[in-house]
Amino acid sequence: MQALPEELQAARLRVVAGHPYLAAALYALQTVALPGLGTLAVDQHWRLYYDAAAMAEWSAAELAGVLIHEVSHLLRGHARRGEEMQADPNRWNLAADAEINDDLLAERVALPDWVVTPAKLGQPDGRLAEEYYAALAGDASPQQQGGADDEQEGDASATARTASSTTASAPSRKGGASSKGGSPVRKGGASGLHDTPRPAAGRCGSAAHGHPEPWELPSPAEGGPPGVTDTEAELVRRQVAEAVRNAASSTSRGSVPAHWRRWAEEVLRPAPVDWRRELAAAIRRAAAQVAGATDYSYRRPSRHQSGDIILPTLSAPVPEVAVVVDTSGSVADTMLGQALAQVGCILRACGMDRGVTILAVDAEVATCQRVYRPTQIKVAGGGGTDMRVGIQAAMALRPRPDVVVVFTDGYTPWPEQPPAARVVVGLLGAGAPTPPSWARVVRI
The CATH number for 405's domain is 3.40.50
Strand partners, 365: 361
The per-residue DSSP string of 194-218 comes to -SS-BTTTTB--HHHHSS--TTSPP
More confident site: 332 or 131: 131
Q: Each residue of 407-420: pLDDT tens digit?
A: 998 899 999 999 99
Confidence of residue 74 (pLDDT cuts 50, 70, 90): very high
Same domain, yes or no: 255 and 290:
no
Confidence of residue 152 (pLDDT cuts 50, 70, 90): very low
In angstroms, the CA 340 to CA 356 distance is 13
Flag whether 56 is in a domain. yes
Q: Each residue of 17-44: pLDDT tens digit?
A: 999 999 999 999 999 998 888 888 899 9
Flag whether 332 is in a domain. yes
Same domain, yes or no: 238 and 312:
no
DSSP-derived pairing of the beta strands 365-371 and 356-361: antiparallel
Same domain, yes or no: 260 and 311:
no
Strand partners, 368: 359
Flag whether 169 is in a domain. yes
pLDDT given at position 346: 74
In angstroms, the CA 119 to CA 72 distance is 20
pLDDT given at position 351: 55
pLDDT of 134 > 80? The answer is yes
Same domain, yes or no: 252 and 298:
no
Strand partners, 321: 403
Tell me the average pLDDT across 144-152. 34
Give the domain-ending residue among 268, 296, 321. Answer: 268
pLDDT of 337 > 80? The answer is no
pLDDT of 165 > 60? The answer is no
Flag whether 164 is in a domain. yes
Confidence of residue 57 (pLDDT cuts 50, 70, 90): confident
pLDDT given at position 313: 56
Rg of the chain, C-alpha, whole Å:
24
pLDDT given at position 259: 92
pLDDT given at position 311: 58
Same domain, yes or no: 320 and 264:
no
Flag whether 264 is in a domain. yes
In angstroms, the CA 29 to CA 6 distance is 16
Q: Which residues of 385-399 are buried (b: 16+ CB within 10 A; e: fewer)?
A: bbbbbbbebbeeeee
pLDDT given at position 13: 92
Same domain, yes or no: 295 and 385:
yes
Same domain, yes or no: 225 and 346:
no
Same domain, yes or no: 225 and 374:
no
Tell me the average pLDDT across 140-149. 34
Please check whether residue 348 is in contact with residue 429, taking contact to mean a CB–CB distance below 8 angstroms: no
Give the domain-ending residue among 248, 268, 288. Answer: 268
Q: Considering the chain, what is the average pLDDT of its residues?
A: 77
pLDDT of 150 > 70? The answer is no
Same domain, yes or no: 362 and 433:
yes
Tell me the average pLDDT across 153-182. 37
In angstroms, the CA 357 to CA 205 distance is 33
In angstroms, the CA 11 to CA 66 distance is 9
Confidence of residue 187 (pLDDT cuts 50, 70, 90): very low
Residue 151 belongs to domain spanning: 6-268
Same domain, yes or no: 357 and 231:
no
Confidence of residue 163 (pLDDT cuts 50, 70, 90): very low
Same domain, yes or no: 178 and 264:
yes
Give the domain-ending residue among 237, 268, 299. Answer: 268
pLDDT given at position 318: 61
In angstroms, the CA 394 to CA 166 distance is 41
Number of domains in the chain: 2
Same domain, yes or no: 174 and 279:
no
Nearest Cα to Cα of residue 419 among 283, 334, 322: 322
Q: Which helix (H) or strand (E) holds 335?
A: helix 333-341
Share of the chain above pLDDT 70, in %: 74
Q: Which helix (H) or strand (E) holds 25?
A: helix 23-28
Q: Give yes or no for a cis peptide into 399 (omega within 30° of 0).
A: yes
Flag whether 1 is in a domain. no
Flag whether 413 is in a domain. yes
Confidence of residue 248 (pLDDT cuts 50, 70, 90): confident
Alpha-carbon distances, residue 327 vs 339, 362, 377, 386, 411 (angstroms): 10, 5, 13, 10, 12
pTM above 0.75, yes or no: no
Strand partners, 315: 295
DSSP-derived pairing of the beta strands 403-408 and 422-427: parallel
Flag whether 155 is in a domain. yes
Contacts of 45 (CB under 8 A, 6+ apart): 30, 219, 220, 224, 227, 228
Is residue 200 helix, strand or coil? coil
